[in-house]
Amino acid sequence: MNDPDTSADTDRNHIWHPYSAMQSDAPVFTVASAHGVRLKLSDGRELIDGMSSWWSVIHGYNHPLMNAALEEQIHKVSHLMFGGLTHSPAIELARQLLAITPSNLSSIFYSDSGSVAVEVALKMALQYWHARGHPQRRKFISLRCGYHGDTFGAMSVSDPETGIHSLFGDALAQNFFVAQPRCRFGEACSDDDIAPLAQALEKHAGQTAAVIMEPVVQGAGGVWFYSAGYLQQARALCDRHDVLLILDEIATGFGRTGKLFACEHATIAPDIMCIGKALTGGYLTLAATLTSQAVSDAIDQGEPGVFMHGPTFMANPLACTAALTSIRLLLESPWQKNIQRIEQGLNNGLAPCRDSGQVQEVRVLGAIGVVEMKQAVDMNSITRAFVEAGVWVRPFGKLVYLMPAFIISDDDLAELTRAVVTVIKGLAQKPL
């Protein structure tokens, strides 16, 4: 029998990481523990986490109240099939979500991840139109540079050319795409800005089940901030053409942009909303799709009279407990002041990057800071450079971005942004 692999060998030889190759030379760092905004590596080094584990760990790691709530729940029931059974954490979480989301949303479907929440939203829209006697409405209109997840339905409404899913284009449902809004956040939305969406709806409304978009912030498709006015006009156009509006709040929900949900910047409500990521404070995987009474009633009254979806781990009691505790922690905290504080710290801390000839733009909204480079960075070398600087930052493409936990201190935020400035300035001495 061969000698057992070291942990690093096992990881490298047998485990796929997101968007990676087996036995890749991409650096992978083993985390031994995490507390607050710090990751402690197995070699003893500590890193300030600038990513909050893909934007989800908003209260930091190892939070005592989160830990206590989960420990209490695990002694009651850790998992329960949701078919024909229910439980208090799912019920209490539903009450809490209905209290904080747009008032027209009244029905909730729990799922496992953001991608599945989008799949559920698309299926809801299709079943809605089938129930209303319009089965030909099977297409979706989406924004270019948008990203909605990695499953097949979600890929079909994500950017088909510049996105990460172009390899699968021929295998996906063919939907309609309109130009990315170029009107920036804080600016007005002109007739020219909204024209592509208006024209698409004028031409394709009879075939379209829904328009789907990430409100105000396009996330993994480019971390682009666009005008709330665009969102307002999109809502009006959907109403005019009797088309559903799906808002993907998976990345933007729970305070990240300075509002509890990004659609609040535009004071509009969707027909269907997807939430995830920060829903559980990053503790466990859980997502939800919320919809209006009109949509849920139509599905119930149509054929086959039920909504056709049901994940095994739907409404997992531990995950629902984590979500309920996380939301209460958020609402009981001065989260708006924290987001304003982080926004100011990101603006001040990242400003020196504008002096680099390799930087295209620096932009900040809420607790999101973006340094857009003129060329794509080398992921392997820049990740190592950030670790050497004592921070965890994972860029992609041309984007070096930060989405820290809401509890990050001013000192840690300053150290985090200094590391970004230092590493980016260091790129001037070597090719990207």
Tell me which residues are annotated as active site: 19, 147, 248, 277
Q: What is the CA radius of gyration of the chain?
A: 22
Residue that the structure tokens 């088909």 belong to? 160
Secondary structure in 3-state letters for the chain = CCCCCCHHHHHHHHCCCCCCCCCCCCCCCCEEEEEECEEEECCCCEEEECCHHHHCCCCCECCHHHHHHHHHHHCCCCCCCCCCCCCHHHHHHHHHHHHHCCCCEEEEEEECCHHHHHHHHHHHHHHHHHHCCCCCCCEEEEECCCCCCCCHHHHHCCCCCCCCCHHHHHHCCCCEEECCCCCECCCCCCHHHHHHHHHHHHHHHHHEEEEEECCCEECCCCCEEECHHHHHHHHHHHHHCCCEEEEECCCCCCCCCCCCCHHHHHCCCCCEEEECHHHHCCCCCCEEEEEEHHHHHHHHHCCCCCCCCCCCCCCCHHHHHHHHHHHHHHHHCCHHHHHHHHHHHHHHHHHHHHHCCCEEEEEEECCEEEEEECCCCCHHHHHHHHHHCCEECCCECCEEEECCCCCCCHHHHHHHHHHHHHHHHHHCCCCC
Q: Say if residue 145 is exposed, middle or buried (CB neighbours under 10 Å; 0-12, 13-18, 19+).
A: buried
What would the two tokens of residue 270 be? 């969707």
Q: How far apart (Å, rounded) are the C-alpha atoms in residues 57 and 282? A: 4
Cα dihedral 233, 234, 235, 238 in deg (nearest 10): 120
